[in-house]
Structure 1
């Protein structure tokens, strides 16, 4: 079997397993639980199949670092524990009819998202098909940029982790946390910096296909494009929840870029915007 065939078979098995587990357990975060693990396996399949081509090994090492960070962050938030379902799924279930959500679970959560997880790794297929070529300056640049984005996402997640720990301590002390959502650090220049860095890493990953071939456009760009579209939809849905929970969120939205970090706009004089400590 070719490396791509192995990955397709593995993806089909994971898709079936995550859907069956979601039906049996009535928890719908099984794809979330393998999101940081499956890409590592897929890219290493290509690296091993190539006879450990230097570029593919570099790509696999970077994805392994990405997966380790994401797995750690997901685990410390309780994502792997029973009941560790993403809170947004329960909200979405309440907004959809039962059969509608069942279809959504099968076709979007299980099939589409698992296909997307495979797609974002397939620049490795383009690199493998290009044949072995020596690493160059652009590979070094891409690796450094990937690692910079990895650090950025780590910082964003740590800031979010500490903020939610502070909120929990405030509630435990009988106080109402104010503000109710994070607005400082990286969240002062992007409402979702972790979303930005996550997408950016996979666009850089696609860059290795360009470095290997010298051609800018390949079919394997589809993964990065579809991932960006997924995050746009996720941002809209997540913010619809935040706007209902936090009265000051619209003022925050008016000031701060949605995803791409950028200079915040001045607050309106009549708006009173709380600043996170």
Structure 2
């Protein structure tokens, strides 16, 4: 656990320093898909390569590589590691009156963007720690692994549909042609995006909720302290998606109707 805390503190401090110096506040985004791999493999090595931990580490590695690829093709990474595309939402948040004073944004960057978000990443990987010295690997573990693989596929399809939509829209615009109705809306709204407004976010949350259940399989205890990371991740995505939707609603005339018609994360309304 000490090694995990050292990695966390070093990564959070690095994100704060680099973002403060460069003005690019997406430094945590660059590590979001990479550092969980390090965390889970550290635990796996410390466990002596227990089978359950090795399985969890392989799943997180597959998740991380896929997410890193998607982030990279959107311009998130650069050989100048401190550069790369910044999440457009940070500029919107920074422009709010609450952050008119520079020191307030500095504190927000330190506490929330850097240390809280990096801490959250550590928290949602902690079911690996709780799974150490657990019960023998069983059918539940294989079922959980299959669910995570299926969710990675769903997230991949959702990201690809979004990528294809915006790529084709920009291609038509660059050619000076008339945009078909599908692209005039400006936002992806078909495929998985016609079932829920954020299928990639939904799959991402589900992956880490399922990941938690490895600790249940290892201990036989349905509720343990390592669930906190998954809970906080769901809360983060709720707030993050709300911010995205408020921006999209002001940008796209048809988005308000989309909000009314399509559920946020679950493909049915309660």
Q: Which residue number corresponds to residue 162 of structure 2?
A: 160
Measure the CA separation in 1 of the matches of 2:59 and 2:85. 27
Residue 116 (1) aligns with residue 120 (2): yes
Q: Which residue number corresponds to residue 105 of structure 1?
A: 109
Q: Which residue number corresponds to residue 241 of structure 2?
A: 235
Question: What TM-score do the two structures reach when normalised by structure 2?
Answer: 0.93
The one of 211, 232, 246 aligned to 1:226: 232
CA distances 1:218-256 after superposition (whole Å, capped 9, x unpaired) = 110000000000000001100000000001111011110
The one of 186, 201, 222 aligned to 2:192: 186
Q: Would you say the 8 A contact 2:39–2:122 is kept in 1? A: yes
Q: Which runs of 5+ in 1 are unaligned?
A: 264-277
CA distances 1:124-179 after superposition (whole Å, capped 9, x unpaired) = 11111xx1432101001100001110100000000001011012112212355412
Distance apart, 1:101 and its partner CA? 2.0
Question: What TM-score do the two structures reach when normalised by structure 1?
Answer: 0.91
Q: Would you say the 8 A contact 1:53–1:132 is kept in 2? A: no
Q: Which runs of 5+ in 2 are unaligned?
A: none
Measure the CA separation in 2 of the matches of 1:238 and 1:174. 28
Distance apart, 1:259 and its partner CA? 1.2
Q: Would you say the 8 A contact 2:26–2:87 is kept in 1? A: yes
Three-state SS of the structure 2 residue aligned to 1:120 is helix
State how 1:45-56 maps to structure 2 within 5 Å: 45-56=42-53
Q: Which residue number corresponds to residue 245 of structure 1?
A: 251
Residue 88 (1) aligns with residue 89 (2): yes
Q: Would you say the 8 A contact 1:146–1:205 is kept in 2? A: yes
Distance apart, 1:83 and its partner CA? 4.0
**4+ aligned runs moved over 3 Å, structure 1:** none
Aligned length: 258
